[in-house]
Amino acid sequence: MNLTKKAKSALISVFNKDGLRPIVEKLNNLGIVIYSTGGTEKFIKELGIKVIPVEDLTLYPSILGGRVKTLHPKVFGGILARRENENDLSQLNEFEIPEIDIVIVDLYPFEKTVSSGASDQDIIEKIDIGGISLIRAAAKNFKDVICVSSMNQYDTFLQIMNESSGETTIEQRKNFAAKAFAVSSHYDSAIFNYLNKEKLAFRESFDTVSTLRYGENPHQKGYFFGDLEALFEKLHGKELSYNNLLDVDAAVNLINEFKNDPPTFAILKHNNACGLAQRNSLKQAYVDAFAGDPTSAFGGVLISNKEIDIETSLEVHKLFCEVVIAPSYNNEALEILKGKKNRIILIQKDIKFPTTQYRTALNGVLFQDKNNKTDDASVISTSTLIGPSDRELEDLFFASKICKHTKSNTIVLVKDKQLCASGTGQTSRVDALNQSIIKAKHFNFDLKGAVMASDAFFPFPDCVEIADNAGIKAVIQPGGSIKDQLSIDYCNDHKMSMIFTGTRHFKH
């Protein structure tokens, strides 16, 4: 069997014509017969290159408004025929079907049409039928046919044509076939997810993959599937690691809570905020965030909701940190931050985030709606005889936002829109509270006048009692325990205010 094939003919049917011209010109120079239809045929003709309309091959016009053009035995027979099979070749000869050695397709932009907010009818019309069928047929017969299934593959294909004068190896064709089935499965998954309103099954697909240095630990392989460039513009530094990406994900979700607020700066370590503050200036927000836990800030991920200016960058530059993220940077500030060659500097773009999330569990996948509920004045009820002051209420909502993005069980302590400390990932809420108090005192915070947020209800009054003894007089929590009244009674007896939100914020 000859594993190297020299192409004699090509079928081209693409939606996006960008980058197609040099390929068409090269195929023409190699003497390869070109078949095409519709807009692609017109594009090739306008280049002054000979092209045979598919309709001349099939002796059938494009029908149903273009829905049926290439779906014909004379097209698919030429693609699927096995060149080493005498019966296949005999039938090609009998029915006057030409062999097709190259198939170039770029599908209708279904996902872009969905994201544009188009009507349901417009979206349905962007479900490619002929194109996807051509891809699958050509990829199946990779022993004889090379399938270029996306405009993203044009450069690689053109390089092969230039270097080999139209010949392809079995390894090349098999590689393009794998890419073709990746394109077709991704395309079908996108269509399914658009129609899958009742969650009939789980399908997810990403076209872009990055190979990471390693996974969570050096002995584990790691990959990221997704388009980071859609979310970030990387300005400086080494490549993001697996653990960097987890921290960056946590940082982006946290700072999104403060997107339209005054200058806010957060420092994260192992997916939890170890420092966060909101001030009139970004520099002071950073300084006060850093004061929350100067020890844990070392090697952390830093994120801001405002442009990083010179004054802030001078402070940040003093710290060894892995990643800095902001919506923009002053030019001089950027040069200062670039002073550490490995420091990763990212601009976060304003994009729409997914409303669902999933993770592997056991031999399957857990899927849920994203926790997009943020506690505010519209959802609270005051459970105690006295309510929080206006300043305390602002701090309570501030603390609740942090609490929502901290590993459970968690308690968050805040004073004057500054994270004093948090207890993170503890097996009991009492342990989380004690951890946060000890940590706050270690970094010289005066908790008198501070507020406390809990991600879940208090089954006993022990937490409000411990908080009271530490000087905390205002509490925000979901409520919902059958013993809520015990905590309410303690607060009333000790002149504490407590508000219920009705929403638990577990994060595991």
State how beta strands 344-348 and 232-236 pair.
Answer: antiparallel
Please say whether the beta carbons of 464 and 487 come within 8 A. yes
| Structure token pair of residue 243 | 């653990």
Q: How far apart are CA 254 and CA 256, in angstroms?
A: 5
| Structure token pair of residue 129 | 């039928």
Q: Is 270 noted as a catalytic residue in this protein?
A: yes
3-state secondary structure at position 267: strand
Helical (H) or strand (E) element with 475: strand 474-477
| Structure token pair of residue 30 | 């190699």
Preceding amide of 409 cis, omega within 30 = yes
Q: What's at 411, amino acid-wise?
A: I
Please say whether the beta carbons of 301 and 244 come within 8 A. yes
**Active-site residue, selected from the candidate residues 17, 26, 140, 317:** 140
**Active-site residue, selected from the candidate residues 26, 174, 270, 340:** 270
Taking each helix axis as running N to C, give the angle between helix 462-469 and helix 429-442, from 0 to 180 degrees, rounded to the nearest 10: 10
Please say whether the beta carbons of 429 and 411 come within 8 A. yes
Neighbouring C-alpha atoms within 13 Å toward the C-beta of 87: 0
Picking from 423, 409, 417, 434, the residue whose alpha carbon sits closest to that of residue 266 is 417
DSSP-derived letter for residue 55 is: H
Q: Is 494 noted as a catalytic residue in this protein?
A: no
Taking each helix axis as running N to C, give the angle between helix 73-80 and helix 130-140, from 0 to 180 degrees, rounded to the nearest 10: 30
Q: How far apart are CA 10 and CA 51, in angstroms?
A: 10
Beta strand ranges found along 298-450 (DSSP E): 301-304, 323-326, 344-348, 356-361, 364-369, 381-382, 411-414, 419-423
Q: Decide: residue 317, CB within 10 A, 0-12 exposed, 13-18 middle, 19+ buried.
A: middle
Q: How far apart are CA 308 and CA 316, in angstroms?
A: 10
CA 403 to chain centre: 23
Neighbouring C-alpha atoms within 13 Å toward the C-beta of 428: 7
Residue with tokens 């990055």: 210
Beta strand ranges found along 187-261 (DSSP E): 209-211, 223-225, 232-236
State how beta strands 52-53 and 33-36 pair.
Answer: parallel
Catalytic residues: 140, 270
